[in-house]
């Protein structure tokens, strides 16, 4: 576009130019293109200067009040918002450019430390530098180029009288305190101090080997935003959804104060209509039962969900006594006394008994009952037919299916990174919408492939360097399908890595579902508990023929009943309760994955494969070719299909 530029009377080197729909005063200098975000041409009667960066300011006429014309070509202003989750666990980062997601990843994938870190006060200062570095790389920018940082926790909601003060007391020996702490935990001051100072940590706490995209940043250069934790969860659920309006329900362990929130989204606006605060938390109750059953809390809750299928709800009355649902979407959780009610807790290596199965089943049943009541209240308040879900509790695919089948909402969308990792995305979207007036909501999350990708030349270079024997495949889908049809287990490493806890065909272990023994084989390969199910991936167009009432389900967030006439054809993916946590895939979402399923269907008549995450016990999903090769050679599966290359173990059966 061509627009008029007016030289200021105050200075011949200052002018008024349009930006974000209004005129602003800027210096006519070599930095002007960077300031405006436009490619600028200076037109005179003699020549066209390509930009001010290559011509000094002396070329600008020194006539105050004169009018000149510049052509502003479309290199629209780019606003970058960096989202960070780091307060608790599942540390992550994402980068948004003018409302569009460019990249998102969890720190665990780069460090190979499960969940990135444990949710303890002493780790709150740790930022996901590797994830941030990856996001900056994908955007092609330095940290200096970031306009806004959105951090998905607001410490000022908890600081109380200490807000704005320079000091906060941190105990050296909490047990020696003469008076009870006024904090929920005596370590809260340390936790909050770490988060308040996160902006400084970002600027000068980066690892030495990552300095390329961090070095030389001023703390004052970037505008920092603390976003309330459950606003970040709600934003991650609503704004990437396919809905223009929806009710939004978030459920997790805790944020700053809230543990459950009720929200309404309409267009670009999102508002809260209610919340449940600490100490009442469905997520924390589930965590405590997870610990009671001998698992790791804030990590193994999905194991309790799987365990529940083997039990009976004989203790449902106990959990109904603990969880009291009131009016206005409120509930309380009291009188837990787990050991008093159920006996001694299980230790990690103790055998599982029917008693443990029944506790898990009872908890799951009452959780589902409770959330259905909360969802019904939210539906009455909003009148919406669409529901968006996020928060760690929303990763419970059995619960999600119960809401789908028995709840009042017509349509449900669940954020695939519903745990805390997704709050980096939600915080970034929220800030981007608040700060970038020229960008309306436009992003829809139709897939979860936002992590690193390795091209064939990068993969082959590594394989040669590592002296790994390999061959290049002529037809990846056909050759891989042949291996799978031979009942072998493969590692599948293709395209951009998934964002969120589910492996969805980029970093997966794949196998045939036809043989009943495959579920046990995979659990042995991954060193998992015997009761754990494995999940199927199915061609989207074939899903309704194999699973009851199946629709598009690309993120493995709902269970469906396996059709009775198909149960014996895919026994490996049918859980003990007759259900399966399915992933549907179409050609647009992941072309190579889709072609593999088609090839397997052609050979076997079955459009289904077993898909489980490409990792082993206690390790995150693999990220790089090195991770994939190390996992492959240290685990008993048969082949690795990595990009266009095949690696097979000699004498593999």
Distance from C-alpha of 129 to C-alpha of 636, rounded to nearest angstrom: 33
Say what angle helices 282-292 and 301-308 make with each other, to 10 degrees: 80
Over residues 614-644, the pLDDT tens digits come to: 999 889 999 999 999 999 999 999 999 999 9
Over residues 539-598, the pLDDT tens digits come to: 999 999 999 999 999 999 999 999 999 999 999 999 999 999 999 999 999 999 999 999
Distance from C-alpha of 217 to C-alpha of 199, rounded to nearest angstrom: 11
User: Which pLDDT does position 652 carry in this prediction?
Assistant: 53
User: Which pLDDT does position 5 carry in this prediction?
Assistant: 41
- 244 three-state secondary structure: coil
User: Which pLDDT does position 185 carry in this prediction?
Assistant: 86
Give the strands of the sheet with 39-43, arranged side by side. 22-27, 14-19, 2-7, 67-73, 39-43, 48-49
Residue 58 has pLDDT above 60, yes or no: no
Q: Which of 105, 104, 106, 110 is nearest to 88 (CA)?
A: 106
Determine which helix (DSSP H) or strand (DSSP E) holds 477, and give its type and residue range.
Answer: helix 476-485
CA distances 459 to 419, 464, 493, 494, Å, are 31, 9, 10, 11
- Give the pLDDT mean for 277-286: 96
- The CA-based angle 133-502-420, given to 5 degrees, is 60
Determine which helix (DSSP H) or strand (DSSP E) holds 539, and give its type and residue range.
Answer: strand 535-539
DSSP string, 335-403: ---HHHHH-SPPPTTSPP-HHHHHHHHHHHHHHHHHHHHHHHHHHHHH--SEEEEESGGGG-HHHHHHH
User: Which pLDDT does position 10 carry in this prediction?
Assistant: 36
| Four-point Cα dihedral 441, 446, 448, 454, nearest 10 | -100
Say what angle helices 421-435 and 229-238 make with each other, to 10 degrees: 80
CA distances 347 to 217, 292, 293, 344, 439, Å, are 48, 8, 7, 9, 53
Residue 154 has pLDDT above 60, yes or no: yes
pLDDT-based confidence at residue 501 (cuts at 50, 70, 90): very high
- 550 three-state secondary structure: coil
- CATH architecture of the domain 456-648 equals Alpha-Beta Complex (3.90)
Residue 281 C-alpha from the chain's centroid: 21
Strand partners, 579: 561
- Give the pLDDT mean for 435-448: 83
Residue 308 C-alpha from the chain's centroid: 26
Cis peptide before 279 (omega within 30 of 0): yes
Which superfamily, per CATH, for 245-414? ATPase, nucleotide binding domain (3.30.420.40)
Which sign, positive or negative, has the C-alpha torsion 54, 58, 59, 64? positive
Distance from C-alpha of 89 to C-alpha of 124, rounded to nearest angstrom: 9
Which option is the CATH number for 78-163+185-240+416-445: 3.30.420.40, 3.40.350.10, 3.40.50.2000, 2.40.10.120?
3.30.420.40
Domain ranges across the chain: 2-73, 78-163+185-240+416-445, 245-414, 456-648
Q: Do domains 78-163+185-240+416-445 and 456-648 have the same CATH topology?
A: no
* Helix, strand, coil share (%) of the chain residues, nearest 5: 35, 20, 45
Residue 319 has pLDDT above 80, yes or no: yes
Residue 71 has pLDDT above 90, yes or no: no
Any residues with CB less than 8 A from the CB of 449 and at least 6 apart, and which?
495, 496, 497, 498, 499, 504, 506, 589, 590
Distance from C-alpha of 317 to C-alpha of 96, rounded to nearest angstrom: 47
Task: Check: CB of residue 609 under 8 Å from CB of residue 513.
Answer: yes
Determine which helix (DSSP H) or strand (DSSP E) holds 138, and give its type and residue range.
Answer: helix 129-139
Task: Check: CB of residue 19 under 8 Å from CB of residue 77.
Answer: yes
User: Which pLDDT does position 24 carry in this prediction?
Assistant: 41
Say what angle helices 354-382 and 301-308 make with each other, to 10 degrees: 100
- 331 three-state secondary structure: strand
């Amino acid at each position: 576009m061509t627009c008029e530029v007016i030289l200021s009377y105050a200075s011949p080197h200052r002018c008024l130019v349009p930006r974000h729909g209004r005129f602003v005063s800027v210096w006519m200098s070599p930095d002007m293109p960077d300031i405006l975000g436009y490619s600028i041409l200076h037109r005179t009667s003699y020549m066209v200067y390509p930009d001010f960066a290559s011509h000094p300011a002396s070329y600008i006429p020194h006539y105050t009040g004169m009018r000149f014309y510049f052509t502003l070509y479309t290199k629209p202003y780019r606003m970058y918002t960096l989202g960070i989750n780091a307060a608790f666990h599942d540390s992550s980062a994402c980068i948004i450019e003018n409302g569009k997601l460019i990249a998102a990843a969890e720190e665990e994938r780069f460090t190979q430390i499960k969940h990135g870190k444990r949710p303890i006060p002493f780790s709150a200062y740790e930022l996901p530098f590797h994830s941030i570095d990856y996001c900056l790389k994908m955007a092609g920018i330095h940290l200096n180029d970031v306009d806004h940082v959105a951090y998905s926790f607001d410490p000022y909601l908890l600081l109380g009288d200490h807000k704005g003060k320079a000091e906060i007391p941190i105990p050296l020996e909490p047990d020696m305190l003469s008076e009870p702490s006024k904090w929920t935990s005596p370590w809260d001051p340390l936790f909050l101090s770490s988060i308040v100072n996160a902006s400084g940590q970002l600027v000068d706490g980066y690892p030495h080997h990552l300095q390329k995209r961090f070095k030389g940043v001023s703390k004052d250069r970037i505008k920092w935003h603390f976003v309330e934790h459950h606003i970040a969860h709600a934003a991650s659920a609503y704004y990437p959804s396919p809905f223009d309006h929806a009710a939004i329900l978030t459920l997790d362990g805790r944020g700053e104060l809230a543990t459950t929130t009720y929200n309404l989204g309409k267009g670009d606006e999102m508002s809260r209509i209610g919340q449940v605060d600490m100490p009442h938390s469905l997520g924390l109750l589930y965590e405590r039962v997870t610990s009671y059953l001998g698992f790791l809390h804030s990590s193994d809750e999905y194991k309790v969900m799987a365990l529940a299928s083997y039990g009976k709800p004989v203790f449902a009355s106990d959990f109904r006594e603990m969880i009291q649902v009131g009016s206005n979407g409120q509930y309380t959780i009291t009188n837990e006394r787990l050991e008093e009610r159920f006996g001694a807790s299980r230790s990690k290596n103790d055998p599982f008994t029917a008693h443990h199965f029944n506790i898990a089943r009872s908890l799951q049943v009452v959780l589902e009952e409770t959330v259905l009541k909360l969802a019904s209240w939210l539906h009455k308040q909003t009148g919406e037919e669409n529901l968006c879900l996020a928060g760690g509790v929303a990763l419970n695919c059995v619960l999600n299916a119960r809401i789908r089948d028995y709840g009042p909402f017509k349509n449900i969308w669940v954020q695939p990174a519903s745990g805390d990792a997704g709050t980096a995305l939600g915080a970034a979207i929220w800030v981007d919408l608040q700060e970038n007036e020229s960008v309306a909501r436009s992003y829809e999350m139709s897939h979860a492939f936002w992590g690193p990708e390795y091209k064939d030349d990068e993969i082959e270079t590594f394989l040669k360097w590592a002296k790994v024997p390999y061959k290049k495949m002529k037809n990846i889908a056909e050759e891989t399908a042949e291996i799978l049809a031979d009942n072998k287990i493969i590692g599948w490493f293709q395209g951009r890595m998934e964002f969120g806890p589910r492996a969805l065909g980029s970093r997966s272990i794949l196998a045939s579902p036809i043989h009943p023994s495959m579920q046990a084989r995979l659990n042995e390969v991954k060193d998992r508990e015997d009761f754990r199910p494995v999940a199927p991936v199915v061609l989207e167009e074939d899903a309704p023929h194999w699973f009851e009432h199946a629709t598009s389900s690309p993120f493995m967030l709902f269970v469906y009943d396996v059709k009775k006439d198909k149960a014996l054809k895919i026994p490996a993916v049918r859980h003990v309760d007759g259900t399966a946590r399915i992933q549907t895939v179409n050609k647009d979402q992941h072309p190579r994955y889709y072609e593999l399923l088609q090839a397997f269907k052609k050979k076997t008549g079955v459009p289904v494969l077993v898909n489980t995450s490409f990792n082993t016990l206690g390790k995150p999903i693999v990220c790089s070719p090195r991770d994939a090769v190390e996992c492959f050679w240290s685990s008993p599966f048969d082949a690795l299909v990595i990009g266009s290359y095949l690696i097979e173990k000699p004498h593999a059966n």
